[in-house]
Amino acid sequence: MGFREHAARVRRILGIVLAVLLLGGVAAVLVAGGDKDKGTATKTVRGVIGSEKAEFFADPQVVKALADKGFTVGIETSGSWDMEELPLDGYDFAFPSSKGPADELRAKAQKAKGKATTAPLRPFYSPLVVVAHSAAARVLADNGLATLGPRGTSGSLKMDAYLAAARADRTWQQLKGSSGHAELSGTLFITSTDPVASNSGALYLAAASYVADGGRVAGDKAAVTRTAPLLQKLVRVQGAQQSGSDAPFRDFISGVGNPLVLVYESQVAAQLLAGHPMGDLVVLYPDTTVNSDHTLVPLTENGRALGELLSTDPELRKLAVRHGFRPQGAASEFTTATNSHTAYLNQTLSGVRQAPVPTSAVLHEMALRARDQGDTA
Amino acid sequence: MNRAATRPADPRTAPRTTPGAARRVTARMRRTAAGTVARLAGGRGRSGASRAARGATAALALALLAGACSGVDGTDRPDEHGMEFVPGTLRVLASSELADMEPVLDTARRETGVTVRLTYTGTLDAVERIASGEADKGYDAIWLSSNDYLRLRPDTAKKITGETPIMTSPVALGVRPATVARLGWDPAKVTWSQLHRAVADGRLTYGMTDPKRSNSGFSALVSVSSGLSGAQSALTQADVHRATPKLKEFFTGQKLTSGSSGWLATAYGRRSDVDALVNYESVLLSSFPSERLTVIRPTDGVVTADYPFTLLASARPEAKDAARRLTNYLRTPAAQDRITKSTLRRPVVAGVRPAAALAQDQRRELPFPGSRAVADGLLDAYDNTLRRPSRTVYVLDTSGSMSGDRLDRLKSALAELTGDFRDREEVTLMPFGSAVKQNEVRTHTVDPDSPKAALDAIRSDARGLTASGGTAIYSSLQEAYRFLGRAPGDTFTSVVLMTDGENTDGDPASAFDAFYRSLPAEQRRTPVFPILFGDSDRGELDHIANLTGGQLFDATKGSLDGAFEEIRGYQ
């Protein structure tokens, strides 16, 4: 009651809080919905997003572009898989980093509110890639695990051959050409994030299981069981895993981590577009990979309008490209912006097959089993 | 998805050491945390700065509370006032070696308006404080050398958010150039096996921090265990088991231990008989010129710290905003360039060149254990099996002035401490008044097969202490040295001195100084760790610590248990 009576003040406080949140790109304050300004000047929308998009929403140019179209966006970040645990009241949209959690969120919203939410929108996406130091990439290529482009700064990772090597516990020392590189020793593996907590780690397993199971998407427990021993190997060799994709990439840049690290293409592209020198980095596109489809689930009309805007507004699409994302639809924006970086980026994703992602439930089970914690009945 | 619920320690990879031993590890760590909290709450350590920080915190908390109330009661000015009041100060629990970042953080304050107040702590202590929720009460963020151990704890997963690695530094060995030459090594091509061989042959000794308190010690333990077991991927219990004989040999070479890397470097500087020092590459390069230490990163692998600036999930939104401004700044090429040049850590931003002193050939990064069972099993093995045992004399003031509350506190602190003694450890309680109370001096050794017997006996001895007589500090210390000299052994030997007053009986300080200087070199390496308590004289105790290469611990404002516990890292 008191709350309603002081609605104006609450709005003002909310405004301050949102300003802070927008500056920081982080959020934690909840205010019950229903007090939203219905005026035509500014639509204030709130959403929960995957952390990899926090920098995009915090970018002052993005804030300005949204304001020009009448939007003030407050965001909270959450692991894509953790969003399902959040109460959805009071949000205008949810923006996880792949389709699986988006489908679950949509189903949950429909069930909870009987809301006929409109279809999810996918304003932009980014494929998973593997970054390698040049010596590691060359050894992989010399041993039939990868092919490299003419400049040697990008290429393709042969997933079949890689998984066969993983199955056989192949070490770097067993690969020809590795001697003389102290860092190339021990079991050959790709560093990923924790698949239970983080989207990119889970999508890595999705791609691996698709390849290992002869090009079939895991649809049930039996399918998960078939590939679990291999997926356990992929995870177990890594030891402690990070819970976000930024840290392993930073270790890589610093020259101290594992020589093969799974990242989003957008992380590499953002560095290239910012003009940073890339050192001896090589981008390997797995011949079968998974796209991280940043999927916006509208929960209100305003949320839907924001999704439309992100999908269609040329300025916002351009800004998404600057953060390394590929806008959906015509590829020209991404290819134009990255034209001087073709030594690293496979602009058209030629020769890269997209593995479909299992449902959220199956992927959860897959991640738990890979970490040796699932139902092993 | 509930991450916490899905990450239990896997029972199938549980340590092969006794479950009881594993439990002791955890119990000890918990106590460590409690002790540290108590001491900090009491204001010891960098007291000026941290007291100021606490004052600011209290003011801030009050301001926010007022603000929060105003939303309900209709006076909204205090809220905005509260916002103005927040000068963008981040209270950060940090690894002690980050003291070298203070000049960079001063610049960061000018550039971003964010003030960072660092409170230094050991990595594993910090983990305990996060798990227990203590950290939430006084801090906005943590900044440790690594979050690897933190990640193994399911009870911390929901308490942290937003990890931003800032810089990296591998754990390496600094070896005296003369030793490198004597061993005929090319410093760029030394393996863990070679290091082990040199130690086993009696040709290499080193200092390393306590793996249970310090991340550099823990990282070194993981590295050498991987190296000597030949593990090709993340370490397992089977690997540790296989490497145990070689690890035992390797740890016979550890002549110095420490609860902090700072003291280790100082202690190493005093010793001419220790050949090498295990520490972060950045600390080795910054503390010692290259003619004193040659940095070796073993070619078969290292564990690297990546210093993630990590928000506590409980931090207020404005603190989270300040943290983002800070980390954005620290990741700018200019800040990264400054960091690598001034701290000799490695940059994490593409295009920034590492400082010239940093070797560019790459190393294999050894995976950190993926389960808590393996990590704790390794710590437990180190304490109870691998390391040289400790031998300690507790010289305890039980003079008349200790009667009542002070003696009770001493007894309860000793009872608390008892749970912490390691297998094979020799503990002597030497109470004194006007002289050492010879008929109350007792020595117990913790037998790995039945540790309880010795621990119970120590507890019982502690309960039986009585207060009487004057205070003969210096005569009693001499007695402790004489006791230790009667049966020298291959142990970490030290003396803890707890007194609540000034010297009133027996020899004066000058006599002790002369006595100490007349000791054989081997005995002069036994440090005294005095504890400031009650009305004891700081100058007197500082002098003893400096003379013997020990360190003073202050229990006057904090707790005696805390001081005893902190000293464990040096024993």
ipTM of the complex: 0.76
- Residues of B in Cβ contact (< 8 Å) with A278: 350
Q: Check whether residue B338 and residue B427 sit in a common domain.
A: no
Q: Do B250 and B265 fall within a single domain?
A: yes
Same domain, B191 and B117: no
pTM: 0.80
Asked if residue B370 is part of any domain, the answer here is no
The full DSSP string for A202-237 is HHHHHHHHHHHTTS----SHHHHHHHHHHHHHHHHT
Q: pLDDT class for A113, splitting at 50, 70, 90? A: low
The answer to whether residue B380 is domain-embedded is no
Domain finish residue from B305, B333, B366:
B305
Q: Give the model confidence (pLDDT) of B531-543 as tens digits.
A: 999 899 999 999 9
Nearest CA in chain B to A240: B370
Each residue's pLDDT tens digit, B227-285: 999 999 999 999 999 999 999 999 999 999 998 777 888 889 888 889 999 999 999 99
Amino acid at B239: D
State which amino acid sits at residue A86: L
pLDDT tens column, A334-371: 999 999 999 999 999 999 999 999 988 899 899 999 98
Angle at B179 between CA B177 and CA B181, to 5 degrees: 70
Closest CA–CA distance from residue B97 to any residue of chain A (Å): 19
CB contact under 8 A, A257 and B354: no
Query: What CATH number corresponds to the domain at position B342?
Result: 3.40.190.10
**Are B112 and B175 found together in one domain?**
no
For A254, the closest chain B residue by CA position comes to: B348
Residue B22 placed within a domain = yes
Query: Is the Cβ pair A257, B368 closer than 8 Å?
Result: no
Tell me what the pLDDT averaged over chain A comes to. Answer: 85
Our CA-based measurement puts residue A89 at a distance from the nearest CA of chain B, in whole angstroms, of 18
* Domain that includes residue B269, residue range: 170-305
Q: List the alpha helices (DSSP H) in A99-158.
A: 99-113, 134-142
**B396 and B451, same domain (yes or no):** yes
Give the CATH H-level superfamily of domain A2-124+294-340: Periplasmic binding protein-like II (3.40.190.10)
For residue B345, give the chain A residue with the closest CA: A254
A139-168 pLDDT per residue, tens: 999 999 999 999 999 999 999 999 999 999
Q: Residues B425-440: what's their mean pLDDT?
A: 96
If phi over 0 gives left and psi between -120 and 50 gives alpha, with beta otherwise, what is residue B99? alpha
- Final residue belonging to a domain, choices B253, B278, B305: B305
Same-domain pairing of B225 and B339: no
pLDDT tops 60 at residue A14: no
pLDDT of residue B226: 95
Q: Write down the pLDDT at residue A114.
A: 62
Residue B162 sits in the same domain as residue B33? yes
Provide the shortest C-alpha distance from residue A329 to chain B (in Å).
31
Is B296 part of a structural domain of the chain?
A: yes
Strands B141-143 and B89-95: parallel
Do B399 and B519 fall into the same domain?
yes
Interface test with B, best of A256, A268, A373 (most B CBs within 10 A): A256
Q: Using alpha carbons only, give the angle B549, B553, B558 rounded to the nearest 5 degrees.
A: 175
pLDDT tens digits for range B305-328? 999 999 898 888 788 878 888 998
On whether both B182 and B299 belong to a single domain, the answer is yes
Confidence at residue B219, expressed as pLDDT on a 0 to 100 scale: 94
Residues of chain A contacting residue B168, judged by C-beta atoms under 8 Å apart: 250-251, 254, 256
* Euclidean distance between the first and the last CA atom of chain A, given in angstroms as a whole number: 52
In a domain, B63, yes or no: yes
Residue B86 binned pLDDT confidence (cut-offs 50, 70, 90): low
Q: Are residues B551 and B411 in the same domain?
A: yes
Q: Are residues B339 and B429 in the same domain?
A: no
* Domain identity same for B334 and B434: no
Predicted local confidence at residue B503, as pLDDT: 95
Q: What pLDDT does A373 receive? A: 64
Domain boundary, last residue among B322, B347, B372: B347
- Cβ contacts of B164 on chain A, cutoff 8 Å: 246
User: How many domains is chain B built from?
Assistant: 3
Q: Are A2-124+294-340 and A127-291+343-370 equal in CATH topology?
A: yes
H/E run at residue B281: helix B281-287
Sequence-ordered alpha helix ranges (H) in B156-208 = 177-183, 192-200
CB–CB of B362 and A244 under 8 A? Answer: no
Rounded to an integer, the average pLDDT of B20-48 is 34
In angstroms, the Cα distances linking A235 to A368, B166, B245, B371 are 11, 26, 29, 12
Q: What are the sequence ranges of the domains in chain A?
A: 2-124+294-340, 127-291+343-370
A-chain residues within 8 Å CB-CB of B318? Answer: 20
Q: How confident is the model at residue A116 (pLDDT cuts 50, 70, 90)?
A: low
Architecture of A127-291+343-370 per CATH?
3-Layer(aba) Sandwich (3.40)
Within 10 A of B314 (CB to CB), how many other CB atoms are there?
Answer: 16
Residues of A in contact with B350 (CB under 8 A): 253, 271, 276-279, 281
Query: Helical H runs in B74-151?
Result: 77-85, 102-112, 123-132, 134-138, 148-151
Give pLDDT tens digits for B197-207.
999 999 999 99
| From B83, B234, B360, residue closest to A236, measured CB to CB | B234
